[in-house]
Amino acid sequence: MDLLIKNAFVVDPTSPFHNQKVDIKILKNIISEINTTIEDNQIENLNLNNLHISKGWMDSSVALGEPGFEERETILNGLEVAAKSGFTNIALQPNTNPVIDNQTIVSFVKSKAFGKATTLNPIGALTKQQEGKDIAEMFDMKNAGAIAFGDYKKSIDNANLLKIALQYSQDFDALLLAFCNDANIKGKGVVHEGITSTKLGLKGIPALAEEVVLARNLFLLEYTSGKMHVPTISTTKSVELIKEAKSKGLNVTCSVAIHNLVLTDEVLNEFDTRYKVNPPIRTEEHRQALINGVFDGTIDCITSDHHPLDIEHKKMEFDMAKDGTIGLESAFGTLATILPVEVIVEKLNAAKTIFGIENTSIDINQPASLTLFNPEGKSVFNKDLILSKSQNSAFLNQEMKGEVYGIYNNGILNIK
């Protein structure tokens, strides 16, 4: 649809209109004009309160369930949630049933998302059935539209398999995701190992469980000269390891989950399973290290790590509950309580570059992929604001700042 966006404050350092309030005219999904004032009553005019506009955001880790777990979330509703939460692109995790480990399933999920405002970008499983034994059909999946390859929330225990995958993936410039968690060190742990876990009598997960695997994976990356993205790091040492690897010139990027940036393990005092996530919410020391990593560029992007789960898998004993929280709806509002707007926009947009998605600036003759939001105002996140089918949010009753209006992408305006 053609659209005239009125009085929009541009937040895009790559644009010549950065930090300016302008009108933006979009014709056939292309920005045709940007000026202080544009008048055109022949197309729809959009004028929203304190409208700020940026390049479209991308969430690098979204689980939706379909196919196989539609009771948790469907692709269609998940894309609607993403659009109204400000995301023009999502990277879909392969933890479906059947697992996204072949070109047929990649094509299926992409077909389900056809014609929607938010673009769905599938991540293919790195190993068949995410079992960590045999490398999946990466080349075929990439040809079908997969943007990267990784087993969701599963480390590759076999170092040689990961080494071979890093070498093989270079033949077709594929990005590998390497989640870091030593299952033996984690054992039966369910929360961060520390004072809080001891007080509550819950089995702890040492930071070492993440760090020892990350160190190994970075050695493999250095050996193979491959390309690796490390999703959702959560410890002080992990930030240091990534920073050191980058200083060596290794082709490595990483993300952090919003709940690890905002919350500490003190929220566990009520044994609320909404806070059971993987990696676990850790201490203030780790949280501050992650925030510092965001500011100094060690951490490349921020993800909601959106993982819908039905009530049967969450409302139960802490040890038995599944890991995961939804996070799309609360992403911007939560981050705005701890980070400047410019940093939030940068880190929510950065995944596009990492995953090889077109990332054009807000400029004339460029495709329009835009997020619309208001950075001001305060509210409390409650169940009425949850758009997902599942309601397992770690941010219920948390104070939020600002509001997301929605997106313009793929020639479609999708706003609340």
Rounded Cα distance, 96 and 77, in Å = 16
**Closest by alpha carbon to 390, among 314, 286, 323, 333?**
314
- The number of CA neighbours under 13 Å toward the Cβ of 26 is 24
Name the amino acid, one letter, at 239.
Answer: V
Rounded to 5°, angle at Cα 255 from 401 and 357 = 95
Cα separations in angstroms, 262 against 21, 59, 71, 287: 31, 17, 28, 7
Q: What is the DSSP string of 132-186?
A: SSSB--HHHHHHHT--EE--TT-----HHHHHHHHHHHGGGTPPEE-----HHHH
3-state SS, residue 54: strand
Rounded Cα distance, 206 and 186, in Å = 7
What secondary structure letter does DSSP report for 280? P
Cα separations in angstroms, 191 against 265, 277, 322, 373: 8, 8, 12, 34
Chain center to CA of 100: 18
305 part of the active site: yes
User: Is the omega angle on the peptide bond into residue 375 within 30 degrees of 0, that is, cis?
Assistant: no
- The number of CA neighbours under 13 Å toward the Cβ of 252 is 31
**Closest by alpha carbon to 285, among 205, 204, 195?**
195
3-state SS, residue 22: strand
Rounded Cα distance, 117 and 198, in Å = 47
The token pair at 281 is: 């919410």
**Closest by alpha carbon to 157, among 209, 224, 90, 223?**
209
Q: Dihedral sign for Cα 327, 120, 97, 383, please.
A: positive
Cα separations in angstroms, 87 against 79, 231, 386: 9, 18, 16
Catalytic residue (choose from 23, 305, 310, 323): 305
Which residues have a catalytic role annotated? 305
